[in-house]
Amino acid sequence: MDMAATWTPARTGSLAPSLILLAAAVVAANVQSFFIPIDGDVSWLITVSEQVLAGKRLYIDLFEVNPPASVWLYVPMVWLAQLTGLRAEGVVAGTTILLAFLCSFATLRLASRLRHSPPPIAFAATLGFVTLVLPGGLFAQREHVALLLALPTLTVFALLAEQHPLSARTRFVAGLAAGLVVVIKPHFALAVGPAALWAAWQARSLRPLVPAIVAGALVLAAYAAGLLLFARAYFDYLPLLAGTYLHMRERWHLMLAGPSVFTPAALLGLAALLRPARVPPLATTLFLGTVGFALAAVIQGKSYANHALPGTALGIAAFGVLLLKGGVTRERQRLVGAAALIMAAIPLSSTHRILPQPGLAEALRRVAPPNPKMITLGTELVTGHPAVRNVDGRWIGSRASLFTVAGVQYRRPTKMSGAERVQLERWYQADIQSFADDVARGRPDVVLVEVLEKRWIAREPLLVKAMRPYRYATRAGDIEIWLRR
């Protein structure tokens, strides 16, 4: 007898699934509080949000390579932190834990209405794992939030595929969530769109999707209006981003072998090995979301760990639904399930090893003045973030790092027209000038210098001049700490 056969619908109302989600939330709160600080991406976006709330203009006074949704996602949480006097990192992590609990609970309740519903206790454990434990050092990343919103949305699509009479309000809310997923990153339309179309095909009608389509369109229209009203300057940066950042792509063979593609593909392969007589609609929509997030990662071409998170998490959840389905032999459950556990342990180990630069905060506390003003001389975002926040410092740069310089250096060896090369060098010099201006205006107490970048730094007169008021103090790994003389 398989595990799914032991469950009866009468257990749906049990407190046990909710308690499991609550336990996962407690685990996440402890991990985020004591073991894994907020990652560099989130730390930088918190810093940008604070500066926006202080009156600086995004893409005019501050440069951010991502669209404004990446900043606006964190502004309300940072505003709440300022209102309550709490630390912004704590509010961001706490809000994400609450969102994870609510989305998982909603997913669990919606799934209980399916004709082919997974066992609630086992499904609650799966949801708690993928939403609250698996993210680790990627906690509260934009991809994490997209995952949380996608889970109940894809479950609604599974219900529509089974032709359940869902209320218009439920379908409208699912559309709002789907719209927000797309706003977070346009590529993420691949994670919700195909599942919605599949549900309509199964229901033989688009009519059940109308409230969701209307809601999603309203969200996208509101975002477009916000772009035009409050972030029109972002469009001025699009040529620069297209000419630099978008060219910085992982090689194809490394991309396909990386976690964004390999892990979801492996989970799909393991699902096929289960040889289920029938794939339940929930497993189908979750697997469609898995493939969609993986394709979105390929389009972005970066092979970053955060890009792999949502596809991996949905793949684990989908596999769990299929594993617990009736009709799969116990022997196959055990063998293939064990392989899936190993597969899930790999990204879990990876996400929990994402930590700040070793020893950097300690070195700063040792040699820098209290609450130092800081900036990075280098091309890596993670050099200054979250280090500046971990020592209660203040970031004085108008950008996270010399990221445009990195993009130009990446493109220089490639073939291009003379006009393109001239434009690239203009962007390169503008990025260097921005650093010199930030140092002159902000007079930082600390400059974090990336050792691996020093060779080209020494060839730039503007950078050499900007660094004259500073002296070498100490080093932590590949980062030097320079203090004002």
Same domain for 274 and 415, yes or no, is no
Q: Is residue 75 part of a domain?
A: yes
Same domain for 311 and 438, yes or no, is no
Instruction: List, for residues 190-245, the tens digit of each pLDDT value.
Output: 999 999 999 999 999 999 999 999 999 999 999 999 999 999 999 999 999 999 99
Q: Is residue 5 part of a domain?
A: no
Same domain for 385 and 346, yes or no, is no
Residue 4 has pLDDT above 50, yes or no: no
Distance between CA atoms of residues 223 and 230, nearest Å: 10
**Considering 293, 322, 351, which residue would you say is the last residue of a domain?**
351
Q: Are 248 and 410 in contact (CB under 8 A)?
A: yes
Distance between CA atoms of residues 440 and 448, nearest Å: 16
Looking at 67-203, list the stretches that DSSP marks H as alpha helix, in order from N- to C-terminal side: 69-72, 75-84, 88-111, 120-128, 142-161, 168-184, 189-203
Same domain for 383 and 455, yes or no, is yes
Residue 49 domain boundaries: 13-351
Same domain for 279 and 332, yes or no, is yes
Same domain for 347 and 366, yes or no, is no
Number of domains in the chain: 2
State pTM to two decimals: 0.95
**Considering 320, 351, 382, which residue would you say is the last residue of a domain?**
351
Distance between CA atoms of residues 485 and 471, nearest Å: 6
Same domain for 184 and 58, yes or no, is yes
- The helix (run of H) or strand (run of E) holding residue 313 is helix 305-323
Instruction: List, for residues 98-153, the tens digit of each pLDDT value.
Output: 999 999 999 999 999 999 899 999 999 999 999 999 999 999 999 999 999 999 99
Same domain for 327 and 373, yes or no, is no
Peptide bond into 369 cis (omega under 30): no
**Considering 351, 383, 400, which residue would you say is the last residue of a domain?**
351
Q: Are 396 and 438 in contact (CB under 8 A)?
A: yes
Q: Average pLDDT in the 349-378 region?
A: 96
Residue 84 has pLDDT above 90, yes or no: yes
Instruction: List, for residues 6-42, the tens digit of each pLDDT value.
Output: 333 334 457 899 999 999 999 999 999 999 989 999 9
- The helix (run of H) or strand (run of E) holding residue 450 is strand 446-450
Same domain for 127 and 276, yes or no, is yes
412, two tokens: 């220089």
Q: Is residue 1 part of a domain?
A: no
